[in-house]
Structure 1
Amino acid sequence: MEQLKQKILQESAIVSNDVLRMDSIINQQVDPSLIMEIGKEFAARFKADNITKVLTIESSGIPAAFAAAYLLNVPLVFARRKQTVINDPDSYVERVPSFTKGMVSDLVISKQFLNRDERILFIDDIIANGDGARGVVKIIQEAGAELVGMGIVVEKAFQAGANYFREQGIRVESLVKIASLDSGEIVFKD
């Protein structure tokens, strides 16, 4: 997506050779027009796959996942990042580390929202090492649902996350792949 690449070049900030801050694009401030274009792209790529639900992780994945779910006309479910007193006690829970947050958290999804008849599209904003995505995949498997594929807004191709899933035979569709952030420069991979 050329529009997304241009926005990344204009508005993101390189924090280190491993971290790209995209707060003004997809993480804290959201451009609704761009998010709807992202949703259209994911919906087009997975249109023929009979998706029954879109799944993401709170909070940064929600806008892109919402746009895709809206255009696919299916519900959106998101994994909460921690257990609270209002969580359904009958929930799937996976502990996962977060690369960008530098901490371990729980991913929690109420069992009422996932069942074995589901065909799931997992959408995530950024994939680095893939730890959060691995937790979601485990929950999908535990529910007996089918993971149809993963839609990733930005793949850090220099980290192992997306390739791990490809090696497992999981379809991964990344809208933008970043090959490197070395020397303070964003290099895209075709």
Structure 2
Amino acid sequence: MSAALTPEQPAANAALTPEQPAANAALIPKQPATSAALTPEQPATSAALTPEQPATSAAAGSGRPAPSWRQPRTDRDSAEWWAAVARHELLLQRCAGCGDLRWPPRAMCARCGGFDWTWRPSAGNGTVASWIRSHRPFAPGVPLPNVTVLVRLADQPDLLLPGGWTGTGEPRTGSAVRLCFDDIEPGLTLLSWEAAP
């Protein structure tokens, strides 16, 4: 049952006047729009970066250099995986509790919640689940157009690994592919895919 409103009880959804600010409005100072054109005084934050536009990061002002976009951020769970990729090997975590394979590397099994696991080699065979061709740079030095492929591994149907496309022609969804490795620069190797023979 709704009660009649009196002047002392304004409707929650009544039109607001400048004298009546919304109760749930964020009370923050006005900020410039993030999509506004960048000026030399405003370094790029999420726009495509060029050598003239320095990247800002959490390290800004701390005396530490901003991390390179090319270098992966490793942690205790992924360091061995990246080391294997540098050796041109693909490793997957296998849960010691339920036997489930997982990628990306992480401490806990999503299926059983177990924390014990081992590394298992993979042949790197699969099928194209999806792919995209980008005509816009996501980082300096990346050749355009750039094709990224999402591959469903044969090892386990729910494992999807992204990578570049080094095959000839366009990838086709559902087509068989095999893993190859792309040595981008010294110290950086990434996954790439090509059509299986």
Output the TM-score relative to the length of structure 1: 0.23
**Relative CO higher for 1 or 2, CA cutoff 8 Å, sep ≥ 6?**
1
Instruction: State the structure with more CA Rg.
Output: 2
